[in-house]
Structure 1
Amino acid sequence: MSPSRFFRSLLLFCCCGSLASLSQADEREDFTHYAFANYLGSGLYRTANQNTTVINVPISFTLSEDEHSSLSLRTPISLGFFNFKWRDLPEGDFPSSVGTATFTPGIEYRTRTAANHELQSYVDLGYGNNFSSGTDVAIMSAGVSSLLDVDYKQARPVWVNRLFFAGYSSFDGGVSETYSAIQSGIDIGTNVYWRWDWLGVEVEPRLFAAGYWYFDKLRFVMPLGEDVLVSHSLEVGVTLAFSKPILWEWMGIDRIGLSYRAGDGVQAWRLIFEFPI
């Protein structure tokens, strides 16, 4: 995870989303779309013509740092909005109330094992609430990641592999679910640069592709028909990489981009404000 994208995400929340498969009127509540929002990524997720808009805000603060390692406090927040659709945007309509909120604080440790390799690990313990139904869940997650800088001409690819687990349990003990996944992808540069003087940064377009494989199939509750079980997804996209974070240090943005993710009947457009994989 990266420094906070809070205010920038608020300004652009209409293009962001998280797991979405439940309408407010559905009798079968789907906890997945907000309990796992922080781990499945921002984007406009769509299943059987249903969607929910969510602001995913990956805030973090550095606790200690040296030449080879760092320790950070992560405090990501996700806010969900019901009854909001893309076609509302041209008319200037915005969500009138928050439908869900998730807060999953945790600790992240990063260490350089070699000049071209970084190892990351984290543990989170958090809380999520659906304001429309009054239900809430406890959330737990842990994971480890490997980031390898590949020496290939001027493209400077980064090969990323992640293994993580997440789970939730409702406070009344009636519902619980877990999933674990492996993610692998590559982020590669174009070696094309230009300068944005008004931001004081150089910009490089970068392409990426990633695959996600879930060891436990992830369930999406469907308003009509059978639930969807997701076992894998693939994602491709493009980002603009800045030579240094813009805005304030604690909320600086080092990437802006767009991607498309699909698999097992779930489709997502993601607006990206950080390293994409």
Structure 2
Amino acid sequence: MVLNKSLFICLSLLFLSSSIQAEEDFTHYAFANYLGSGLYRTSGQNTTVVNMPMSFELWQDDTDSLTLRTPVSLGFFNFKWDDLPEGEFPSSVGTFTFTPGVEYRTRTAEDHEFQAYFDLGYGKNLNSGDHVAIVSGGVSSLLDLEYKQSAPVWVNRLYFAGYQSFDGSQAETYSAIQSGFDIGTDIHWRWDWLGVDVEPRVFAVGYWYFDKLRFATPFGDDVLVSHSLEVGATLAFSKPILWEWMGVDRLGLSVRAGDGVQVWRLIFEFPI
């Protein structure tokens, strides 16, 4: 499916750009660890960004926790997912991003959780040799609501991210506020082969960008976005599947649209 000024997202990447440009665009990998992984196709060329949101718990008690976040993102040029069964790691690795940081969570009430994080990282385009420094931070409020058996969660987040190339020639920042609801269906079943209970859930979330967010698309001119709305559905697992440190506790699909940009997402974590 090809849509005007749109991207088809394999996981959850929102920033993508062509790997061959007169002036290099850093956004497609500098912000990858915050906006997810993905795949796009243009002019017969595939670009795949794989985000591995690894984290390790440093400390936890009844109300508070401190987590070390160590996400790694790799970008592959001219590589397709169906190449994996061949047994060879793709040789066309184009980008590498590592943004370690800490996340603090505290239960301020039985139905409310406050979160804060700060990351400082590094990204590199292995083809051009360019390097970028990356910084990001934010705060979040998660409120559990009561409505029949649907267990809604109201989520509000305020965050920023930015990068600067090591030679000082390019820099970009964005900051945003988002607010949305994640609502259950009270339909449950057991997947014995994964050892988890499953519940379908739906969500809707709005995004407002303080400084217009630039979406670099391979199908046309870059688009400046001031707001967007996303709706979707996920399967919620009672515990992370596959590897716990990868945090795959959701699986779902959504669509985000605003200011002429439409993005499809395949989700592998809490969607809001």
TM over 0.5: yes
Query: Among residues 252, 256, 260, which one is paired with 2:255 in the alignment?
Result: 260
Taking structure 1 as the reference length, what is the TM-score of the superposition?
A: 0.85
Name the Cα RMSD after superposition: 2.8
Q: Does 1:235 align with 2:230?
A: yes
* Match of residue 93 from structure 2: 98
Query: Among residues 230, 244, 253, which one is paired with 1:249 in the alignment?
Result: 244
Change (3 A) 1:248 1:84: closer
The amino acid that maps onto 2:252 is G
Change (3 A) 1:49 1:165: farther
Residue deviations 1:221-251, cap 9 Å, x none? Answer: 4668643212222211111111222234333
Q: Does 1:164 align with 2:155?
A: no
Gaps spanning 5+ residues in structure 2: where?
1-8
How far apart, in 2, do the equivalents of 1:226 and 1:198 lie? 46
Contact conserved, 1:232 with 1:263, CA < 8 A, in 2?
A: yes
Shift of 1:45: 6.7
The amino acid that maps onto 1:194 is W
How far apart, in 2, do the equivalents of 1:227 and 1:261 lie? 17
* Match of residue 5 from structure 2: none
* Match of residue 200 from structure 2: 205
Residue deviations 1:84-127, cap 9 Å, x none? Answer: 57xx8599899642211111000100000100000000010000
Shift of 1:272: 1.5
How far apart, in 2, do the equivalents of 1:113 and 1:40 lie? 28
Contact conserved, 2:206 with 2:229, CA < 8 A, in 1?
A: yes
Contact conserved, 2:53 with 2:71, CA < 8 A, in 1?
A: yes
Residue deviations 1:133-186, cap 9 Å, x none? Answer: 211100001100000001110000001000001111000011111111001111
Contact conserved, 1:219 with 1:230, CA < 8 A, in 2?
A: yes
Query: Among residues 173, 176, 183, which one is paired with 2:171 in the alignment?
Result: 176
How far apart, in 1, do the equivalents of 2:257 and 2:18 lie? 20
Query: Among residues 142, 160, 173, which one is paired with 2:137 in the alignment?
Result: 142
Change (3 A) 1:63 1:207: same
Q: Which secondary structure state, in structure 2, belongs to the residue aligned with residue 34 of structure 1?
A: helix
Change (3 A) 1:268 1:50: farther
Taking structure 2 as the reference length, what is the TM-score of the superposition?
A: 0.86
